Amino acid sequence: MEYRWRYQDAQGREVDGPQETFADQGEAEDWFNGVWQDLRASGVDRVTLLRDESEVYGPMSLAS
């Protein structure tokens, strides 16, 4: 299985973001913790963690 993030704007439309993939959920979350502020600054408003094509959780707001 593969984990990745889906990125959305404030209206819920998908937007471009890093196309990183991860072997497990912990690795995906560790990566996200290091880049979420950069994502927010680039226009990403919320993210969803996916395992293959299934939603693990989200959307999660990046607003502080």
What pLDDT score does 60 carry? 96
Domain parsing of the chain, residue ranges = 3-61
Look up tokens 């704007």; give the residue.
9
Low-confidence ranges of the chain (pLDDT < 70): none
Distance CA 64, CA 60 (A): 11
Listed in order, strand segments (DSSP E) in the chain are: 3-8, 46-51, 54-61
pTM of the shown model = 0.93
What pLDDT score does 5 carry? 98
